[in-house]
Chain A
């Protein structure tokens, strides 16, 4: 194929930034998530696993609870390969239900708790759930869905049954994609996928022993389930579940987390609060060393602001379909605009700028979506839809998403994200946006809008002069013909992604 590059990731870029004792934690021989849980729950039996509301559960205690719920699921007729819905807002019970279902060999379908009852019912019928596990906090959403689906309360107990034998290739969980590329799809991930995602989370994050994680992200999200939950459990760490986001800082004051995983918008909110309350690192409990952020572009100023309070901010890149991260920065003083180095053991292919990935972290496919699967895979490669470049040191950079590409009438393609990044240089720039417009005479022009960073006052003429100077450094087809300066930020989606296009 023309214009392509294949990269076999044989080097582990993360070794120097990983716990020197990391080998003790990595167990490639775990055949399934259930087998992994059996091992860690016995290895760390006496250690605290999860803290939720006013109770802390040890690994041993939790394993006993998982076994009882597994018994209740078996009694309800759940078998290896059955689909089981998990409809429980973030809590100890969500994790217990997930582990009980998958250790029985069932496929856990993690249902976003904000969905309404009718959608849940439709999903129960569509997936033919053998059981739907719910809790007191989701009971009002649960409607009987015919003969097939048994309703099982998360506190249900029966004679414990042993875990089922599963292999890495067996299906484990369905997670719904964020849907930035269209409607939400259910990505089916295998036990092997989940284990690889979990193991990758151990690399490049420093010390693994005795860590305390705060958990704010939804457990129905790949980042919340794999990086923020399975990864800590894999290493014998303790996870504090924040049920109500408004209580997160009170929880931190008591729990004193050492590591935290957030989306950029929350990371920014937290540092702003820390500044306004003049609390510095104490807002986070005073022990936080590492903050991992992903899911969309990280504002550059956050790296320094967190460094100023002694917290290392690490940026990573991953998708639901890749069971956690594809790449990450093992340290924060490197290139903050990069999504980091790829994790070892995968193959990357850059085809006409698009990142394709192959490896044992890539999902089995979207459930019941033949067309989408055909579009997402080619010769066993998963096509991410993200446009990237890689530098000579092996660092990856996002330059845009395929659907964002601007195709000029000349046929040349402009990736807005790539050009926008160039204009983000001056410190007074918050963000920029490029789009195609037409003059009164119908001429096609590229327009640049510059949003000024809050707190900065800068003369519009100076902004235009600076932007013009940058403009002249670009290849001709990427140059903008009109510059608009704005004091307010761009409209953003719920996940804080810029809503693209011209605004009146």
Chain B
């Protein structure tokens, strides 16, 4: 998967996780902060974690979602996990 494909898929997941923030998520960049710019709540984050594990076939081991600051950080993690 290319970085752009990963981001597109991630946006699809985030839209379901936080449908109320459609405008914000659609215009998110890799620099967007998950907490302050996108405003994910705890249930939204739980959704993203579960969905990423399923759709990208990766596991968040010894890493919490709060360890990620930006959309780009999450994409980095998925890229590295898929390459491993």
CB-CB contacts below 8 Å: A459-500 with B: 487-489, 492, 494, 496
CB of B43 within 8 A of CB of A266, answer yes
CB-CB contacts below 8 Å: B43-80 with A: 43-44, 46-47, 49-51, 53-55, 60
CB-CB contacts below 8 Å: B22-39 with A: 22-24
- Cβ of A246 within 8 Å of any chain B Cβ, yes or no, is yes
> Which size class do B's interface residues fall under?
20 to 34
Asked if A249 meets B50 with Cβ closer than 8 Å, knowing A276-B16, A494-B42, the reply is yes
- Cβ of A46 within 8 Å of any chain B Cβ, yes or no, is no
CB-CB contacts below 8 Å: A131-173 with B: none
- Cβ of B41 within 8 Å of any chain A Cβ, yes or no, is yes
- Cβ of A312 within 8 Å of any chain B Cβ, yes or no, is no
CA distance A482 to B51 in the complex (A): 40
CB of B43 within 8 A of CB of A272, answer no
CB of B21 within 8 A of CB of A269, answer no
Which residues from B are CB-within-8-Å of A248? 50
Whole-angstrom distance from the CB of A335 to the nearest CB of chain B? 26
- Cβ of A76 within 8 Å of any chain B Cβ, yes or no, is no
- Cβ of B20 within 8 Å of any chain A Cβ, yes or no, is yes
Interface residues of A (CB under 8 A from B): 245-246, 248-249, 265-266, 268-269, 272-273, 275-277, 430, 451, 454-455, 487-489, 492, 494, 496
CB of A455 within 8 A of CB of B19, answer yes
Q: Which residue of A245, A249, A273, A488 is within 8 Å of B20 (Cβ)?
A: A488
Which residues from A are CB-within-8-Å of B47? 269, 272-273
Interface residues of B (CB under 8 A from A): 12-13, 16-17, 19-24, 41-44, 46-47, 49-51, 53-55, 60
CB of A488 within 8 A of CB of B43, answer no
CA distance A492 to B43 in the complex (A): 12
Which residues from B are CB-within-8-Å of A268? 43
Which residues from B are CB-within-8-Å of A454? 19-20, 22
Which residues from A are CB-within-8-Å of B13? 276
Which residues from B are CB-within-8-Å of A245? 46
Which residues from A are CB-within-8-Å of B50? 246, 248-249, 273
Asked if A489 meets B54 with Cβ closer than 8 Å, knowing A245-B46, A269-B46, A276-B13, the reply is no
Residue of A nearest to B60 (CB): A246
CB of A430 within 8 A of CB of B49, answer no
Q: Which residue of A275, A276, A277, A496 is within 8 Å of B43 (Cβ)?
A: A496
Whole-angstrom distance from the CB of A178 to the nearest CB of chain B? 15
CB of A246 within 8 A of CB of B53, answer yes
Residue of A nearest to B23 (CB): A487
Q: Which 6 A-B pairs have the closest CB atoms?
A: A454-B19, A489-B20, A265-B43, A276-B16, A269-B47, A246-B49
**Could you jot down 15 A-B contacts, CB within 8 Å?**
A246-B50, A246-B53, A268-B43, A272-B16, A272-B17, A273-B47, A273-B51, A276-B12, A430-B20, A488-B20, A488-B21, A489-B20, A494-B42, A496-B41, A496-B43
CA distance A418 to B13 in the complex (A): 34
Whole-angstrom distance from the CB of A403 to the nearest CB of chain B? 23
Which residues from B are CB-within-8-Å of A266? 43
Whole-angstrom distance from the CB of B71 to the nearest CB of chain A? 18
CA distance A492 to B40 in the complex (A): 11
Whole-angstrom distance from the CB of B13 to the nearest CB of chain A? 7
Whole-angstrom distance from the CB of B34 to the nearest CB of chain A? 16
Q: Which residue of B23, B49, B54, B60 is within 8 Å of A488 (Cβ)?
A: B23
Which residues from B are CB-within-8-Å of A273? 16, 47, 50-51
CA distance A455 to B16 in the complex (A): 10
CA distance A454 to B15 in the complex (A): 9
Which residues from B are CB-within-8-Å of A489? 20-21
